[in-house]
Amino acid sequence: MLSFLKGRTRTGKRRRSHILITLGVGFSFALIAVFLQPFATIEWRLSDQLFLPTSPSPNIVIAAIDDESLATYGRWEGWPRSLHAQAIENLSQAEAMVIGFDVIFSEESADDLILAQAMTEAGNVVTVVALPADGTQPISPLDSELTYQRFLLPIETISAASAAIGHANTPPDGDGVIRSLPLVVSDSAGEHYPTLALAVLYTFFGKLLPDDYEATDGALHLLGRDIPVDGKKQMRINFVDKPGSFARLSYTDVIEGNFDPEVVRHKMVLVGMTATGMSDSWVTPISAEKMYGVEIYANAMDTILRQRFLVETGWPTNLLIILFFVGVTGIALPFMRLLWGGLLTGGLFVVYLVGIFFAFDSGYILNILYPLMALPLVYVTTTLCRVVSAQAERRQVRELFGRYVSPQVAGEIIRLDDKGELKLSGEVRDVTALFADIRGFTQLSEQMHPEATVSMLNTYLRVVIERVLANQGMINKFAGDNLLAIWNAPQDQPHHAMLAVKAALESQEAIRQIHKDNPSLPKVELGIGINSGEAMAGNMGSEGRTEYTVIGDAINVASRLCSGAPGSCIWIGPHTYEQVKDTVEVEELEPQYFKGKAEPVAVYRVLGLRHQGGSDE
């Protein structure tokens, strides 16, 4: 019962240790993942895979300045602005609700008044400000509204004729992919500019642009909608489909009036560059094909118009999700088999993966990479803890076991146990058993203090143990001043009888040397009996308490030989003699009658090894 409780205690401590290590690794990973984000680019790319194609809003039309337009009217830099004035007149006649130009009119030209007059008459034209082409970077803090030193503005004539002015700034993420759009930016003078998408939408709904763009609870309240934004007031764009998805007209047809008015009637028209080789094209999450800037604004307008908002979960949510997975698996796995632990880990992995898609459909972008990394990390950590713990236990068992058996035997027994072959059963083996007994021990113990008796007993038994182990034997059991050693079990030892005799001779010689070196020690003599023969070797006992031992008549005879052998003598039985007679010098004694044996047993007294020609006395 005590060993059972000790086993339970050791198992409990081991599991607690595994839990603490796993939770420590998991919590450390959670903090690193959430606050340092070492694989941010991978996380972005994974979230890009969540987009599924959908139908775009029919209220948005793109008037594309395409290859045909450049072929018709020449190089873009040489276009007279009267062409744009003509396009505005045609779109107004077709009753387009808003005309948004993703084109900057920052330099004066001869046709500015013509363009301004057309814009004024239409009353619904939106123009843009843009960043200089010198790679201007924001001067704002990292997590605040994007602020730039200056913008390129439309000339005064065009600006005054505009129904609204927006910015045409689409900064990509660190990997060069445009996923978000700043809804508002500002310059160093404090002037705010909403994005072209917002400016067009406000004009579409007949509203004036707001003076205030303060975010509340992570959202900008605009157009009667709470638009979720990040710290830089950027909105995630919910792209509808690959480039070319929105209704499109060639700008050539718009200028020449060669289009169906129904295509633009009561709709928003965005004018922008789509010609081959122009620089305004970007990588987006929805497709490997680059998307033109005007299409990005169309997607942003669609997101706001249909309120298909996407909200990225913040660090508190991501941290809680990771900690939840770490906590559940870190506590449960040490109590589970590896297979069931793998199924639990895999199940959570799949459930979260499915949840990611459902959440995205509901407008929430859950962190993909780090929670899914945490699950296998915890599983691997738990497995490693088990492996390391098992190896440590094996080393401990081997070290403890090695005190009683040779390293070879210890390794064999552990190997058999690993293979499940050390069961509560046995096998018939030809073994050699050695019994050693201290003569006159009872009388000596009566004359000595208990502590001195134990010390004396350990001194002499240690000699026998060392010689047995040196000769590849296994110490099977102790019984006071008596010990049993066996050979050829559990592993095969071809010369097991010779090894046992050699261990006995070396033990007697070592004891004589102890007497010579320490005359003050009580003089002790060993009687040793050795016998070989078939015996049942295996695990004996019960499921809760087993012992690897040998039983059988051959073992009983060895015990009787030990009991009969005088001090400092080694008696061997006939089966042992047959195996060692060519290498051991013996004296044949009178056959002995032993308890339990009907016939006398041949007995031989070992004198020494033949090549030594000596005696054991």
Give residue 168's pLDDT: 94
pLDDT on residue 5: 39
* Summary count for the chain: helices (H), strands (E): 18, 25
- Whether residue 220 is contained in a domain is answered as yes
Whether residue 151 lies inside any domain: the answer is yes
**H or E segment to which residue 609 belongs:** strand 604-609
173-222 pLDDT, tens digit per residue, is: 989 999 999 999 999 998 999 999 999 999 999 999 998 899 999 999 99
Residues 394, 414 within the same domain: no
442 and 532: one domain? Answer: yes
In a domain, 127, yes or no: yes
Tell me if 431 sits within 8 A of 537, measured CB to CB.
Answer: yes
Looking at the structure, tell me whether residues 412 and 394 fall in a common domain: no
Q: What is the mean pLDDT of residues 223-228?
A: 96
Q: What is the pTM of this model?
A: 0.69
Record the tokens describing residue 592, joined without a space.
């002995």
90 and 212 housed in the same domain: yes
Is 424 inside any structural domain?
yes
Where is the domain boundary, 273, 305, 337? Answer: 305
| 380 and 338 belong to one structural domain | yes
pLDDT, one tens digit per residue, over 355-389 is 999 999 999 999 999 999 999 999 999 999 888 88
Task: Give strand pairing partners of 152.
Answer: 130
Q: What's the start-to-end Cα distance of the chain, in Å?
A: 47
- Whether residues 36 and 83 share a domain: the answer is no
Let me know whether 284 and 153 are in one domain.
yes
pLDDT of residue 375: 95
Q: Do 328 and 296 share a structural domain?
A: no
- Please say if the pLDDT value at position 418 is more than 90: no
Same domain membership, residue 319 and residue 411: no
Residues making up the chain, counted from first to last: 617
Which whole-number Å values give the CA distances from 535 to 36, 131, 321, 446, 486, in the listed order?
67, 95, 62, 37, 11
Three-state secondary structure of 139-197:
CCCCCCCCEECCCECCCHHHHHHCCEEEECCCCCCCCCECCEEECEEEECCCCEEEEHH
Residue 452 has pLDDT above 60, yes or no: yes
617 domain residue, yes or no: no
Query: How does DSSP assign 334-396, residue by residue?
Result: GGS-HHHHHHHHHHHHHHHHHHHHHHHHTTEE---HHHHHHHHHHHHHHHHHHHHHHHHHHHH
Q: For residue 15, how many other CB atoms are within 10 A of its CB? A: 17
Q: Are residues 390 and 493 in the same domain?
A: no
Query: How sure is the predictor about 398, in pLDDT bands with cuts at 50, 70 and 90?
Result: low
Amino acid occupying residue 57? S
**425 confidence band (pLDDT: 50, 70, 90):** low
pLDDT tens-digit map of 298-340: 999 999 999 999 999 989 999 999 999 999 999 999 999 989 9
452: its two tokens:
């001195």
Residue 17: predicted pLDDT: 87
**Which of 374, 398, 422 is where one domain is finished?**
398
User: Do 140 and 267 belong to one domain?
Assistant: yes
- 392 with 410, same domain? no
**Final residue of a structural domain among 398, 418, 448:** 398
d(CA 413, CA 429): 15
Say what the pLDDT of residue 448 is. 73
Residues 6+ apart with CB under 8 A from 598: none
Tell me: the pLDDT tens digits for 537-571? 877 766 556 667 789 999 999 999 999 999 899 99
Which is more confident, 371 or 475? Answer: 371
**Domain assignment of residue 53, yes or no:** no
Most confident by average pLDDT, 224-233, 449-458, 607-616: 224-233
Q: How confident is the model at residue 461 (pLDDT cuts 50, 70, 90)?
A: confident
pLDDT score recorded for residue 15: 83
Q: Report the CATH number that the domain containing residue 596 is assigned in CATH.
A: 3.30.70.1230
Q: Which residue bears the tokens 């996380």? A: 43
Range of the domain at 513: 406-609
What are the tens digits of pLDDT across the range 265-292? 999 999 999 999 888 899 999 988 999 9
In the chain, the number of structural domains is 3
Asked if the model's pLDDT at residue 73 lies above 70, the reply is yes
